[in-house]
Amino acid sequence: MAQRIHLVLASGSPRRVELLQQAGIEPERLLPADIDETPQKSEHPRSLAKRLAKTKAETAFAVLGERGEGEGRLVLAADTVVSVGRQILPKAELADEALANLRILSGRTHRVHTGLCLITPSGAQRQRLVETRVRFKRLSRDDIDSYIASGEWRGKAGGYAIQGLAGSFVVRLVGSYTNVVGLPLYETIALIGGEGFDIHAPWREAGKAAAAS
């Protein structure tokens, strides 16, 4: 019998876990990688997303190796970067950061880049970069102040969560919606499925459980 492949997610993001669960996939474990996410001088937003995803995956893969637990496990990492032109908007941790981000995004089109990196049990790497364009309406002072008061922006790339209240700001979206949430599902599923992960096994198991109940 072929060895079953397990998935390790190098992230502690509830949003990424929920998106995987939406596709019927439950990571075997979460192994967040604590790395420096500061952009390098003149680094392009796309390059930053790819570099951070790669570093997160490599860090988690190294931890599994040190523990002797890498066999039969795929390590998946992702990093999402929001930008206007070449300007990278920070993950908002303070109200002032969220306020500055929303003022920049107001009435403009921005890009959401997510870098994906998958490391196989043999150490081979597979990378993808997904980009979505999002246009916000012109935000009123009340829109901004009320959104800041909601607290929903905390820890979010670009200072907003499209799956929440800020979804009402979106005039137009071109590309993957799940990418803006934090994990582009189509590309992610294609990536792990291409490396032997049985993406449909949970679907079949759920069907059997439903039939037996």
pLDDT (tens digit, 9 = 90+) per residue, 27-83?
999 999 889 889 999 999 999 999 999 999 999 999 999 999 888 899 999 999 999
Which stretch of DSSP H or E encloses residue 63? helix 45-67
What is the tens place of the pLDDT at every residue in 132-180? 999 999 999 999 999 999 999 999 999 999 999 999 999 999 999 999 9
Q: What are phi and psi of 40, to 5 degrees?
A: -80, 165
pLDDT at 34: 85
**Domain extent listing, the chain:** 6-212
Write the pLDDT tens digit of every residue in 75-115.
999 999 999 999 999 999 999 999 999 999 999 999 999 99
Question: Which residue is catalytic, options 34, 36, 79, 96?
Answer: 79
* DSSP H or E run through 130: strand 125-136
Residue 198 in tokens: 């049985």
Examine the residue annotation and report whether 79 is marked as an active-site residue of this protein.
yes
Amino acid found at 12: G
CATH of 6-212, one of 3.30.1490.20, 3.40.50.620, 3.90.950.10, 3.30.1330.10: 3.90.950.10
- Using only C-alpha atoms, the chain has a radius of gyration, in whole angstroms, of 18
Residues constituting the chain: 213
Q: What's the pTM value of the predicted model, to 2 decimals?
A: 0.91
Long-range CB contacts (< 8 A, 24+ apart) of 30-35? 31/60, 31/63, 31/64, 31/75, 32/60, 33/57, 33/59, 33/60, 33/77, 34/59, 35/59
